[in-house]
Amino acid sequence: MMKLFEKILIATDGSEKNQPAVRKGLEIARECGSTLYAIYVIDETPFTSAQAEVSTADVYTRLKDEGERAIEQVKGIADGVKVETRILSGRPAHVITEFALKNKVDLIVVGSQGKSGLERLLLGSIAESIIRMADCMVLVVKSI
C-alpha cells in the first residue's frame, strides 16, 4: 500500500510561533510513516542590516548556530519519526522549493506568522512564495 506522504519537509526557524507547524508536520509524518526533512534556511538578504562592527562571517556563524538549535529542537520532539536535517542558505522560499523538488517531497509544512497589511507588503511572505513556487502540496499552519 502506498503512503499518503512518503517525504515531508518542515521549514523551521526555531521560533515559538513556528512550533505549531513543526508539531503538525511531525504528527502527519508519524501517522503516514513518512521520512521528514527539517530544513532551516539562512536568509542571506538581511546581512546588510547587521551592525557595522559585526562582520558578515560573525552574523553567518550566529545564524548557523540558530539553525542548529532549530533543527535539533525538531529532532528532540520527533518521537520515532525518521528526521533528516539540513541547514541551507539563500532566499528561503527558493531554497525550500528547490530542495523539495530535488528530493521528491510530497508535502511542505510551513508556519505563518499571520502578518498583514503594510508589514506583509514590505516584507513579503515566505509561506505565500512557497505556495506559488512549490510543485507539491503545501500546508500552512497559522500560529494563533
Q: Using alpha carbons, select from 17, 125, 27 the residue that is nearest to residue 70.
A: 17
Q: For 105-116, how does the pLDDT look when each residue is reduced to its tens digit (9 = 90+)?
A: 999 999 987 555
pLDDT digits (tens, 9 = 90+) for 2-55: 679 999 999 999 988 899 999 999 999 999 999 999 999 998 776 655 555 567
> CA 49 to CA 46: how far, in whole Å?
6
Q: What does CATH list as the number for 12-142?
A: 3.40.50.620
pLDDT band at 59 (very low <50, low <70, confident <90, very high): confident
The string over 54-84, giving b where at least 16 C-beta atoms fall within 10 Å of a residue's C-beta and e elsewhere, is: eeeeebeeebeeebeebbebbeeebeebebe
CA 45 to chain centre: 16
Q: Hey, is 78 helix, strand or coil? A: coil
Tell me the percentage of the chain whose pLDDT exceeds 90: 63
125 pLDDT exceeds 90? no
* pLDDT bracket for residue 77 (50, 70, 90): very high
